[in-house]
Amino acid sequence: MLLTRPDWLMQFSEMSPEIEARARDYLGTIAWGLPAVLLYRTFYAFTNALGHSRVLMVISLVTTAVHIPLSWALVNGHLGMAALGGTGCAVSSAVVGWLALLSALFHMARSPAYARYQLFSHWQAPHPRVLSDLLRLGLPMGFSSFVEITAFTLIALLVAKLGASVVAGHRIVGNLGALIYMLPLALAIATLVLVGQSVGARDGKGARHAAKVGVILAAGLSTTVATVIWLAREPIFAAYTADPQVQQLGISLLIYIWLYQLFDAIQTVAAHALRGYKITFGPMLVHTLCFWGIGLAGGYGLAFHGIGNMLPPQGVAGFWQATVLSNIAAAGLFSAYLYRVARRF
């Protein structure tokens, strides 16, 4: 409902009427896929907890194989479809969301791995204590995700004030950052499962080992991938756009992706490891402080005001500078937090 009436969101950005109309169409369309996405996330979490991650990979590969050509057709008007522009991506995302959910339901109904849980036959009344535990653990986790997503979303809206070329360069760099982020996120989810299973078995040594290996592996691999992208930056940006101004701006911002990947990987895996220890409220506070306080508010200050006479307004680079600082702070706080918890368990 909020996305279908985004006036509260649009007031934070001084978009041109044309861009605002496109944004409204996009948000209103993608809202139709959100119920499916949220229900699929339940299946996703449950399946990960059981250690059956392969089916999630298969569903992701299938939906991606559908998403790419469908987006291409809807955006550009191929295969007899209307050319919807950016809204076509939203239509494709909504369709893929429902496809993923239907695939999940089909798998749960057919797979023996879920038979013992009688998900479709043995219905019970909600247990207040179980619901209380789920809310106690789940709400802070959800709010952490909300903080992270809204921080980057609001930054994108604020960057819209700086012009179309800046928005394009910022989005390309953001897209590359999101692609790299998939690697530490995957390792973070695996770390959460292994730590959680070790904690459930009262195996403190195993939990500490899983957390340590997860952090080191994610940090090393993310930095390596970011370095490869930095070395291949010119052909990568040429593949994204032929506009030399956008290419130059994007390449100038890419250094920040390289800088923050190490710390982003550390904070992501450490935060998930803490969830494996059933600690979610503290990480929520850290995410709020770092991503809203340093990344969003600090980025706005650096981008449009600078620091007195010491530093002039940095434009879009100010948001990326603050993002790097926010990830450094989060990585440091989460590492200290995780070390303390793991040592005491």
Burial of 80 (0-12, 13-18, 19+ CB in 10 A): exposed
Question: Could you tell me the two tokens for 157?
Answer: 């809206």
Question: Quick one: average pLDDT of 37-55?
Answer: 88
- Residue range 245-293, pLDDT digits in tens: 989 988 998 889 888 888 999 999 999 999 999 999 999 999 999 999 9
Phi-psi region of 85 (alpha: psi -120 to 50; beta: other; left: phi over 0): left
- Residue range 306-344, pLDDT digits in tens: 888 888 999 999 999 999 999 999 999 999 999 999 998
Question: Quick one: average pLDDT of 58-81?
Answer: 85
Question: Quick one: average pLDDT of 138-143?
Answer: 94
Q: Which residues pair with 311 in a beta bridge?
A: 307
Write down the pTM of the prediction: 0.80
H helices of the chain, in order, are: 7-10, 17-30, 34-50, 54-76, 86-110, 128-159, 164-200, 204-231, 233-240, 244-276, 281-287, 298-304, 316-344
- Residue range 154-204, pLDDT digits in tens: 998 899 888 888 988 888 888 888 888 989 999 999 999 999 999 999 999
Question: Quick one: average pLDDT of 62-74?
Answer: 88
Question: 3-state DSSP call for residue 121?
Answer: coil
- Residue 256 contacts by C-beta under 8 Å, 6 or more apart in sequence? 173, 317, 320, 321, 323, 324
- Residue range 201-236, pLDDT digits in tens: 999 999 999 999 999 999 999 989 889 988 998 898
Q: Which residue has the tokens 């969101």?
A: 9
Q: What is the pLDDT of residue 6?
A: 59
Q: What is the pLDDT of residue 101?
A: 95
Query: How many alpha carbons lie under 13 Å from residue 1 in its C-beta half-sphere?
Result: 0
The residue with greater pLDDT, 104 or 81, is 104
